[in-house]
Structures are given as structure tokens and as C-alpha cells.
């Protein structure tokens, strides 16, 4: 009697990454956010939100990958779409932090055994 549901109507929404996040269940939130990123691959917001989740989980490398990807996607957004200025500022701030961290000298890098001396 009812028509089959439209698969596009079951896609996660742009704002679903941070919906009902519980610190004790970050893995679940990250899995949900992976689906949001997959459903909206050209949108910078889900990658920015996933970067936050990765940061909370202590995975700064993954957070920076997403932050830099979000910044790249932000530059591809048509000028007519004008994203939320707060989102733009947040993405730029995160990406700037990542570039600072990843371009810093490897002072904290562990030495290989036998390489000193």
C-alpha cells in the first residue's frame, strides 16, 4: 500500500555528526559522522565536525586530515552559497593550527635506536 521509501530521504543530515554526542561513546559518534561525510562529500561542515570528534578521541592526525580537507572544500563552495561565517572561521582556525603543528620541526620525534652519536 505504501510506496517504497526514497533512499535519499534516509541519508544523514549535514548536522548529524554532533547530534547527541556522548564522550563515553565517541566511536559511535565517529561512525555516524563517517556516514554523514560519505553522504555529503562536497560539504566542509561534516569534515569539520568529524575533526572535532577525532580531537576529542585524541586522534590529532585524523583531526588535522579532516580540518585540512574541510578547508579545501570550503574554497570550492560557490560564492553564491556563502557558508556560515562562524563555520568558515572555525575551519580556518583548525586548519591553521594543523599547519602550525605539522610544519613545526620534529623536536618531539623519537630518535631511532643507534641514530644518536
Q: Is residue 39 part of a domain?
A: yes
pLDDT at residue 9 is higher than 70:
no
**Could you tell me if residue 57 is inside a domain?**
yes
Chain-centroid distance of CA 110 in Å reads 28
Q: Which CA distances in Å does 28 have to 25, 51, 100?
A: 5, 15, 30
d(CA 47, CA 69): 7
Indicate whether 115 belongs to any domain: no
Residue 67 lies in a domain: yes
Are 48 and 66 spatial neighbours (Cβ–Cβ below 8 Å)?
yes
Report DSSP state, residue 105.
-
User: Residue 7 domain-assigned?
Assistant: no
Calpha distance 117→72 (Å, rounded): 42
**Domain for residue 114, yes or no?**
no
pLDDT digits (tens, 9 = 90+) for 54-106: 999 999 999 999 999 999 999 998 878 888 999 999 999 999 999 887 665 55
Statement: residue 117 has pLDDT above 90: no
User: Does residue 29 lie within any of the structural domains?
Assistant: yes
Is 37 part of a structural domain of the chain?
A: yes
Q: Give the residue from 82, 9, 77, 81 showing the smallest Cα distance to 44.
A: 77
Total structural domains within the chain: 1
**Residue span of the structural domain in which 83 resides:** 12-102
Query: At 88, which CATH number?
Result: 1.25.40
pLDDT of res. 52:
95
Amino acid at each position: 500500500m505504501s510506496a517504497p521509501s526514497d533512499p535519499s530521504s534516509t541519508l544523514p543530515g549535514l548536522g548529524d555528526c554532533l547530534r547527541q554526542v556522548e564522550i563515553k561513546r565517541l566511536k559511535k559518534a565517529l561512525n555516524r559522522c563517517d556516514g554523514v561525510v560519505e553522504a555529503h562529500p562536497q560539504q566542509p561542515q561534516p569534515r569539520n565536525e568529524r575533526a572535532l570528534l577525532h580531537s576529542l578521541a585524541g586522534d590529532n592526525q585524523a583531526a588535522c586530515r579532516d580540518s585540512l580537507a574541510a578547508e579545501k572544500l570550503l574554497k570550492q563552495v560557490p560564492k553564491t552559497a556563502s557558508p556560515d561565517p562562524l563555520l568558515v572561521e572555525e575551519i580556518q582556525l583548525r586548519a591553521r593550527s594543523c599547519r602550525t603543528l605539522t610544519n613545526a620541526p620534529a623536536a618531539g620525534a623519537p630518535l631511532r635506536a643507534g641514530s644518536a652519536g
